[in-house]
Amino acid sequence: MPITHTLIKVAPRDHAALVAFYTAALAPIGYKQLGNFPSGMSALGVQRPEWFMMASEDTTTSGVHVCFSAPDRAAVDAFHAAAIATGGKDNGTPGVRERMSPNYYAAFAFDTQGNNIEVAFAG
C-alpha cells in the first residue's frame, strides 16, 4: 500500500512561514495548498491532501529527509530556486546524482525548520 500522507510539526510562530515555503517550493511539481484546519494544521497536495504541517509546541524532530517526485528536470530546477527564494538553505544544487543512477537528477534544500527536502526526476 502507498503512503497516504506525511506530517511535520512546527512551532506556532513559524507555521505561516513554513506553509509559504512549501507552497512556493512544491508548486513546480504540482502541489498547492488544499486546506487550513482549525486544529492548526495546513495541507498541501496535488489532488488530495498529502503533506501536512501542524502547529505544535512539541516540535521534537529527527531531521526528516523527504523526496518528492518531479515530472522533469525543469521542475527540479524550479523547486530549488523557489525553496532558496523563500528562506530555504541549499543542501545540493540541481544535478545528476551518479551514486543513484546516471539518470537521477535531484536538488536538495533545508526547509526553515531544518528538514532536508529533495525533489528528483529519475527519467
- pLDDT in tens for each of the 123 residues of the chain? 567 789 888 889 999 999 999 999 999 999 999 988 887 899 999 999 999 998 988 766 667 889 999 999 999 999 999 999 999 999 999 999 998 889 999 999 999 888 999 999 998
Give the DSSP per-residue string, 46-105: SSS--EEEEE-S-------EEEEE-SSHHHHHHHHHHHHHTT-EEEEEEEE-TTT-TT-E
> What would the pLDDT profile of 35-60 be if each residue is shown by its tens digit?
888 878 999 999 999 999 989 887 66
pTM to 2 decimals?
0.84
Domains of the chain: 6-55+64-121 (3.10.180.10)
